[in-house]
Structure 1
Amino acid sequence: MLLRSTLCCAALLLVAACTARTGPGPAASASTMASTAADAEYARFTREYLDAYYAEHPVRATRLGLHLYDTRLPDLSAEAFQRRAQALHGWLARLERLDRSALTGDAVFDVRVLENALRAELLALEETREWQRDPMFYNGTIASGLSSLSQREFAPLEERMRGLMARMAGIPAVVASARANLRDVPKPWAEQALRDTRGTVGFLRTDLPKALEAQGLARVDGALRQEFSAALAKATAEVEGFARWQEQELLPKANGDFRLGKALFEKKLALEEHVELSAEQLRDINERAIREYQAWVAKEAARVDAWKSPVEVMDALVHDHPKAEELIPTARKQLEECQRFVLEKGLLTLPSERLPTVRETPPYARMGFASMDTPGPFETRATEAFYNITNVEPGWTEEQKSQHLTYFNHAGLLGITVHEAMPGHFVQLLYEVRIPTEVRKVFTPASVVEGWAHYVEQMMVDEGLGGGAPAVRLGQLRRALQRHARWHAGLSMHAFGESVEDAAKRYAEIAYFEPFPALREVQRGTFNPTYLYYALGRMQILKLREDYRRYLEVRGQTFSLRDFHDRFLRLGLPVSLARQALMPGDTGPSLE
């Protein structure tokens, strides 16, 4: 999971680069310069749109590495959301007047993505309406707004402290908006939001002061330190009050339905991931993949112990895990091993040999098991990346701790390291500078981000990672089935009305999971309905790779895995459009 913008609850969309430099975004490169009147008009449009986007989403701008709005939190009032929706209708009307047939170069692809981006945000504002139903949205804005200024040293500490104080001063308005806007909140969302908000309180009390102390707080002017301390105390009290309100007033009344329904599920997936398939088609594709992967599991399990069932073999595999205190050191060692493997096999070109910092997931960000927290594509100074691993919680029972650690079994942790770091999300970060347009750098579909990271899990084992050991292959297959279990959970709950309990039971069966982590995964699906994008993206990339191989062979050209990977990462396009960029004239489906 890529953590860069999850705390903001920002939509994963796309926009485009341009020529004129009027706002905080980077100037266009020569490859994006307008060559027709339509190109020039489109460039003006995207520049104006992006400038407006950054101003409307100041926390996202900070995460992207653009620091013009570091002192602001967004206006989350109902009136602000209504104004945003009206503005989006205006942007769309203007975009529809553009002569797309006269566009050239990158704009040919980006304009199609841009329309989806506008419509996807409008869908979120007017139809799914998370701003009225999701308390995590408000806590995420607070947490991300502060962590984005404290985690990386992109500016002098004094400057960032002033930005932090300015954003802290905006917390009461965010909390007031949450209290005014939220209604019909689903219970699983309210429960997760309360956990997250308590985590933010812990961040304010402990993690934030520690981070600033490590960055030289003692050397800051005493008057500024005192002012900051007062602001921090006030902000902490405000978030504590927000948590009490959630616990005492919001949670007891949380009886909303989290389900999108079939039509909205299909529309959301089509706009955000450029995949236009019906819920029934998606279900059939997933069930077929589950059968194929479970048959593969049975074959590999027989290599381990022919006398035991696949479930028994998998159960033994997942219980072979590091102790809690060994998780981080083990992941560090695996990270170095994966980098050596990529270089020795020549699987892709690594733009840099640097590696991310492996650490325990900060308390305020413990939504999943592991994540990669990367700097924004426009960050030039504080370019650290963090590979986060969520360890056990002190308050859990011994049984819960044991079940949680099964996810980090030795073979599984190796795959997680591949996914999050090498050559997964971290390598995607290294390639961002090579993506040709500002649009694609700002907003990338989840099926590209998570799809690539999930794809390389299988690709690395296919290419020999683990030396052919069945345990390593079984670990990779279990993670694949985990993603297909997510596919089932999100689709079945939101499009077909399955209960959380039944989805969790089916999840455990598909992915060989223990009940406790299976339930946590399914609870995520209540508020992340299209988290099928992991497996969806992997399947699309695998199909593209084989179709591209045949495309080259027909033309007498040689396919190279390194070349395919390098080209795909540089494009930064949804797979359906990457197909057309790599294979001009292609009309084949990205998934079937």
Structure 2
Amino acid sequence: MRDSRPPRAPRRTRPGTFSRQPGRALFDEEASRVRFPLFEPPSHYETRRAMRIRSAFVLLACVSACASRSGAGPESSTAMPTASVSAADADYVVLAREYLDWYAAAHPTRATRLGYHMHDAHLPDVSSGALKRKAEALRGWLTRLEQVVARGGLSGDAAVDVRVLENAMRADLLELEEVRPWERDPGFYVGIISSGLDGLSSREFAPVAERMRAMRSRMARIPGVLDAAQFNLSGVPKLWAEYALRDARGTAAYLRTDLPRALAAQGYAQVPLSERAAFSAAREEAARQMEAFAVWLERELLPKADGDFRLGRERFEKKLALEEHVTLDADALRDINERAIRDYKAWVAREAARLDATKTPEQVMAELVKDHPKAEELVASARAQLVELQRFVRERNILTLPSDRLPVVRETPPYARLGFASMDTPGPFETKATEAFYNITNVEPGWTPEQKAQHLTYFNRAGLLGITVHEAMPGHFVQLLYGARIPTDVRKVFTPASLVEGWAHYSEQMMVDEGLGNGDPAVRLGQLRRALQRHARWYAALALHVYGEPVEAVAKRYAEIAYFEPFPALREVERGTLDPTYLYYAVGRMQIFKLRDDYRRHLESRGKTLVLKDFHDRLLQIGLPVSLAREVFLPGDTAPSLE
């Protein structure tokens, strides 16, 4: 096993830790968070009480089986509960099931994305009264959970999951009461609508006529969402108002153009004429509503938008601790990141000199991105890489592949072409539309030759290889394959981005360490450039939200760190104003490498050797935040997950 990571800097003493759109099972390398499905959806004819009884019974069986193996094994049990299950475990299982039921009802657009279809006809109630009731409900859930914990006796998976669930509840409450996107971000409302409709149109989990009826129901609820926006919004940052204006116009265009185009390929013409007419009328009215909202944003909100996007130190550290289970303070995080940037820059210089010692690293990088497939070869190149990566994973024993399945490699659909590449997966509990799509955004016909050439530089051959590793093999697609093995629903729902994106980003470096590219410095440089991009995000998150640096200065430094041109660097930093914890890519990668190193030393102290395949299999099957996974790999260990 090769490990060519940069040398560790001397250890320093450290002080004493919503995405804007409702979640979907989409991994977007450039822009989005990740959400996993809730739990196996019941048939539509089942009553909620029957569902709760059945689900609690199944979960109780899992707790019984898992308690005997201390949460370490991958298999879920189908055995009946036994007398060894404590009363506390049983109480926790019932509470967790009831909370997940409530959560799905409170987040219907996310529930759709996650494969739970009982709420497909609804949008969330975001009126001020409903938001207050939601906060009160969350406090009630926390009280119940604290009572279960206080009684003691939790064991096995329940003893670990209770901490995941508590953090999730507290993170939701923090979002409502302190971060307050419903008050500060008009894109919060646009995202509810666009995600709610796209979630019903992009996957054929039900006949098109049935999904059209659900869309009509959601369209009828759009005025309520937009009325709530106009009532709730105040202190909006100007940049966020500008983004929301663009998104509102884009949603109107989606309703008029992209949505009918998507449905046309799904049997729309076979739907009865009366239903098509009703749907078209509802779609046109929804587009008109979005256009009217865009006018309100432009004429009323934008001229008065003078709010501050910054979270501030306290809220930033709280948010990171609750969402990502990372409890280091901002100053410690800054020190860790600065050391990592120095190490990676030195590594870049060494690899660049191997290619051409007469040029600067920046010049070498600029030459590398010119080597890319032609536009007409792009999808085929990614498809060929995917097959080769699957072979490499097997031959090098990187991990166990649970299936021979591969995602469908395709051009990104016309209605979703904002990012460069993405992995669109079903949740592990989606029973119908179970295909996965590796989307590659090709050039647009109307672009100039220069624009096309610039776009294709992102898919330079080393870069495309890293993208395919990250999105598919063994990155996000393999995570999908392992999803069914994660032992509890709570972990599947509340998987942190630092594990999901951290695993995919870790995979980029690990695969080159294990021989991908056969030592070609161009392949290593492609991986290092992408690592520095993630550390530039880490820098930007802290600079923007904790240290109060201006956007323009942060963008300049971002470009220096990541070898970016000024315009894409600015766009990346603007994203950071909306996604303050987008340091989770590099944080997660570093946590996994540290866990691996610590576990290797633990094994060696007992005369054993770390087997990389076993480590990877176990990490993916556990499905825990890395800080909690450490307790499974290293019982009794108190070392930090990141330093």
Three-state SS of the structure 1 residue aligned to 2:597 is: helix
Where in structure 2 are the equivalents of 1:176-195 lying within 5 Å? 176-195=227-246
Where in structure 2 are the equivalents of 1:97-116 lying within 5 Å? 97-99=147-149, 101-116=152-167
Match of 1:355 among 391, 406, 413: 406
Where in structure 2 are the equivalents of 1:267-282 lying within 5 Å? 267-282=318-333
Three-state SS of the structure 2 residue aligned to 1:122 is: helix
Which position in structure 1 is the counterpart of 2:14? none
Residue 206 (structure 1) shift: 2.2
Match of 1:242 among 293, 297, 315: 293
Residue 202 (structure 1) shift: 2.6
Match of 2:86 among 36, 58, 77: 36
Amino acid at match of 1:282: L
Where in structure 2 are the equivalents of 1:505-584 lying within 5 Å? 505-584=556-635
Equivalent residues, number: 591
Higher helix content, 1 or 2:
1
Moved more, 390-399 or 228-237: 390-399
Aligned partners of 1:552, 1:6: CA distance in 2, in Å?
Answer: 34
Moved more, 356-365 or 406-415: 356-365
- Percent pairwise identity: 68
Evaluate the alpha carbon distance shift between residue 179 and residue 9 of structure 1 in structure 2; reply closer, same or farther with a 3 A threshold.
farther
Aligned partners of 2:200, 2:574: CA distance in 1, in Å?
Answer: 30
CA contact (8 A) 1:201 1:240 kept: yes
Moved more, 20-29 or 220-229: 20-29
Aligned partners of 2:458, 2:537: CA distance in 1, in Å?
Answer: 15
Amino acid at match of 1:525: G
CA contact (8 A) 1:38 1:98 kept: yes
Which position in structure 1 is the counterpart of 2:462? 411
Q: Deviations over 1:337-378 (max 9, x none)?
A: 212211221211111122222334446545543222211221
Q: Deviations over 1:389-428 (max 9, x none)?
A: 3445678776665544433222111101110111111111
Where in structure 2 are the equivalents of 1:248-267 lying within 5 Å? 248-267=299-318
Where in structure 2 are the equivalents of 1:232-381 lying within 5 Å? 232-362=283-413, 365-366=416-417, 368-381=419-432
Three-state SS of the structure 2 residue aligned to 1:22 is: helix
Residue 548 (structure 1) shift: 1.2
CA contact (8 A) 2:204 2:433 kept: yes
Match of 1:132 among 162, 183, 196: 183
Three-state SS of the structure 2 residue aligned to 1:388 is: strand
Amino acid at match of 1:30: A
Residue 510 (structure 1) shift: 0.4
Q: Does residue 117 of structure 2 align to residue 67 of structure 1?
A: yes
Three-state SS of the structure 1 residue aligned to 2:198 is: helix
CA contact (8 A) 2:249 2:291 kept: yes
Which position in structure 1 is the counterpart of 2:265? 214
Q: TM-score, normalised by structure 2?
A: 0.87
Amino acid at match of 1:333: A
Q: Deviations over 1:465-510 (max 9, x none)?
A: 1121111000000000000000001111110011111111111100
Amino acid at match of 1:534: Y
Evaluate the alpha carbon distance shift between residue 363 and residue 206 of structure 1 in structure 2; reply closer, same or farther with a 3 A threshold.
same
Evaluate the alpha carbon distance shift between residue 184 and residue 23 of structure 1 in structure 2; reply closer, same or farther with a 3 A threshold.
farther
Q: Deviations over 1:88-111 (max 9, x none)?
A: 111112222223541011011111
Three-state SS of the structure 2 residue aligned to 1:496 is: coil
CA contact (8 A) 2:422 2:440 kept: yes
Three-state SS of the structure 1 residue aligned to 2:339 is: helix
Match of 2:52 among 13, 18, 22: 22
Aligned partners of 1:186, 1:488: CA distance in 2, in Å?
Answer: 21
Amino acid at match of 2:571: R
Evaluate the alpha carbon distance shift between residue 406 and residue 28 of structure 1 in structure 2; reply closer, same or farther with a 3 A threshold.
same
Three-state SS of the structure 2 residue aligned to 1:552 is: helix
CA contact (8 A) 1:15 1:440 kept: no
Aligned partners of 2:133, 2:505: CA distance in 1, in Å?
Answer: 38
Q: Does residue 131 of structure 2 align to residue 81 of structure 1?
A: yes
Evaluate the alpha carbon distance shift between residue 359 and residue 139 of structure 1 in structure 2; reply closer, same or farther with a 3 A threshold.
farther
Which position in structure 2 is the counterpart of 1:4? 25
Aligned partners of 1:400, 1:255: CA distance in 2, in Å?
Answer: 34
Residue 52 (structure 1) shift: 0.7
Q: Does residue 639 of structure 2 align to residue 588 of structure 1?
A: yes
Amino acid at match of 2:165: L
Three-state SS of the structure 2 residue aligned to 1:372 is: strand
Aligned partners of 1:13, 1:215: CA distance in 2, in Å?
Answer: 25
Moved more, 360-369 or 540-549: 360-369
Moved more, 94-103 or 35-44: 94-103
Which position in structure 2 is the counterpart of 1:491? 542
Aligned partners of 1:416, 1:536: CA distance in 2, in Å?
Answer: 19
Match of 2:519 among 462, 465, 468: 468
Moved more, 530-539 or 388-397: 388-397
Aligned partners of 2:127, 2:382: CA distance in 1, in Å?
Answer: 43
Three-state SS of the structure 1 residue aligned to 2:59 is: coil
Which position in structure 1 is the counterpart of 2:7? none
Evaluate the alpha carbon distance shift between residue 393 and residue 566 of structure 1 in structure 2; reply closer, same or farther with a 3 A threshold.
same
Evaluate the alpha carbon distance shift between residue 523 and residue 369 of structure 1 in structure 2; reply closer, same or farther with a 3 A threshold.
farther
Aligned partners of 2:99, 2:33: CA distance in 1, in Å?
Answer: 16
CA contact (8 A) 2:37 2:428 kept: no
Q: Deviations over 1:502-539 (max 9, x none)?
A: 11111110011111111111110010011000000000
CA contact (8 A) 1:9 1:137 kept: no
Amino acid at match of 2:290: V
Residue 142 (structure 1) shift: 0.9
Which position in structure 2 is the counterpart of 1:47? 97
Moved more, 415-424 or 479-488: 415-424
Q: Does residue 152 of structure 2 align to residue 121 of structure 1?
A: no
Aligned partners of 1:91, 1:176: CA distance in 2, in Å?
Answer: 29
Three-state SS of the structure 2 residue aligned to 1:381 is: coil
Aligned partners of 1:384, 1:314: CA distance in 2, in Å?
Answer: 36
Q: Deviations over 1:135-161 (max 9, x none)?
A: 221111111111111111111222111
Evaluate the alpha carbon distance shift between residue 350 and residue 134 of structure 1 in structure 2; reply closer, same or farther with a 3 A threshold.
same
Three-state SS of the structure 2 residue aligned to 1:286 is: helix
Q: Deviations over 1:9-41 (max 9, x none)?
A: 999699999x99418969437322471011111
Amino acid at match of 1:304: L
Evaluate the alpha carbon distance shift between residue 131 and residue 392 of structure 1 in structure 2; reply closer, same or farther with a 3 A threshold.
farther
Gaps of 5+ in 2: 1-18, 41-48, 65-80
Aligned partners of 1:385, 1:14: CA distance in 2, in Å?
Answer: 14
Amino acid at match of 1:76: V
Residue 3 (structure 1) shift: 5.5
CA contact (8 A) 1:63 1:148 kept: yes
Q: Deviations over 1:554-576 (max 9, x none)?
A: 22333211111110001110000
Where in structure 2 are the equivalents of 1:158-169 lying within 5 Å? 158-169=209-220
Q: Deviations over 1:443-482 (max 9, x none)?
A: 2100001000000000111111112111100000000000
Aligned partners of 2:563, 2:51: CA distance in 1, in Å?
Answer: 52
Match of 1:440 among 464, 471, 491: 491
